[in-house]
Amino acid sequence: MSGLQATIAGARYGTLTVLGNVELRVAPNQTVVLLGSNGAGKTTALRAIMGTVAAASRTLSIDGRDITALPTWRLAQAGIVMVPDGARCFPNISVRDNLLGAYTATHARRSTQEFERLYRELVSYFPILDERAEQLSGTMSGGQRQMLAVCRALMAEPRVLLLDEPSAGLAPIIAEALFEALLEIQRARQCAVILAEQNAGYVQPFGGHCIVLAEGEVALQGTMQSVLADERLRLAYLGF
C-alpha cells in the first residue's frame, strides 16, 4: 500500500506507560485525525511514530517498505516530518533564515534557485511570512509562528506530515484560517497528514479516518463523520 503505516504499543516515559495500542495507516492526500482531550496521549502517539519516545513495540513502514529501524533524524529523508506542538522556530533569527535553515538541513544537494522556488511556493500559502521575511521570528504572533513552523516542515518536501495541535493557543479565527491553509496545502502537495487535535470542529473539514484517544487508549475510531455522529461517545470522550 502507498502511504504510511504505523503500529505502536506501550509508549512510555521511563517506566510509566501512557499509551496502549495504536495502529494507523494513511495514504497520500488522506488524513488521519487523532482526537482527544488534554493528556489523552496524542502527542505521545506522534512522538512514538517518530521514535522519540520509548515503546514496548513499534513498527513503521512507508509504501510497504519497513523503516522501523531508521533513526528519527533520517525520517525526514524518508519523507516523514513532524510539526511539534508549540509553534516552535528559532526565535532569534529571521523568518527567511528559519526557512533557509530548514531547507539546508533537509537537502543534501542544495541550490539557491531551488531554495527560492520552494520559498516562493510555501509563502504563497501564508503571504504574511513573506511580508515579514526579515523579521525575527520570535517577535511574531503565535499564529504567524505556527505558519512558520508548518513551512519549516514543508521545506523537507514531506510525503507524510504529522501535526501536533496546530490550533493550540490560537484565537478561533486564526486557527480556522490556519486549517483552511493546511487543507489547501494537503491538496496541492498530495501529502498524507496525521493531525492531532482537541477541537473536532477545526478538523472536521479534513474528513478521513478519526481515532479518538482517551487516557492513552483508542476509545473509538471510524470515519470522521461516524465518530462525530456518535453523540454519547462524543460527550464521554470529547466533552461536547
Ligand X SMILES: Nc1ncnc2c1ncn2[C@@H]1O[C@H](COP(=O)(O)OP(=O)(O)O)[C@@H](O)[C@H]1O
Q: Kindly list the residues in this chain that would bind ligand X in the complex (CB under 6 A).
A: 13, 16, 18, 36, 38-44
Q: Quick one: what does residue 36 bind among Mg ion, ligand X, none, with the CB cut-off 5 to 8 Å set by partner type?
A: ligand X
Q: Taking the complex as a whole, how short is the minimal distance between the CB of residue 33 and Mg ion, in angstroms?
A: 14
Q: Taking the complex as a whole, how short is the minimal distance between the CB of residue 6 and Mg ion, in angstroms?
A: 17
Q: Taking the complex as a whole, how short is the minimal distance between the CB of residue 213 and ligand X, in angstroms?
A: 6
Q: Please give the C-alpha separations between residue 14 and each of 19, 52, 213, in angstroms, as whole numbers.
A: 13, 12, 21
Q: What is d(CA 149, CA 122) in angstroms, rounded to the nearest whole number? A: 12
Q: Quick one: what does residue 18 bind among ligand X, Mg ion, none, with the CB cut-off 5 to 8 Å set by partner type?
A: ligand X
Q: What's the farthest any 2 CA atoms get from each other in the chain?
A: 54
Within 10 A of 221 (CB to CB), how many other CB atoms are there? Answer: 19
Residue 108: which region, alpha, beta or left (left: phi > 0; alpha: psi -120 to 50)? alpha
Q: What is d(CA 18, CA 106) in angstroms, rounded to the nearest whole number? A: 32
- Closest residue to bound Mg ion by CB: 43
Q: Taking the complex as a whole, how short is the minimal distance between the CB of residue 40 and Mg ion, in angstroms?
A: 8
Is residue 7 at the binding interface for Mg ion, with CB under 5 A as the rule? Answer: no
Q: What is d(CA 95, CA 134) in angstroms, rounded to the nearest whole number? A: 6
Is residue 167 at the binding interface for Mg ion, with CB under 5 A as the rule? Answer: no
Is the CB of 102 or the CB of 219 nearer to ligand X?
219
Is residue 43 at the binding interface for Mg ion, with CB under 5 A as the rule? Answer: yes
Report, in this order, helix, strand and coil percent for the chain, each rounded to 5.
40, 25, 30
Q: What is d(CA 129, CA 182) in angstroms, rounded to the nearest whole number? A: 15
Is the CB of 42 or the CB of 58 nearer to Mg ion?
42
Is the CB of 189 or the CB of 209 nearer to ligand X?
209
Residues 195 to 214 in contact with Mg ion, rule: CB under 5 A:
none
| Binding footprint of Mg ion on the chain (CB under 5 A) | 42-43
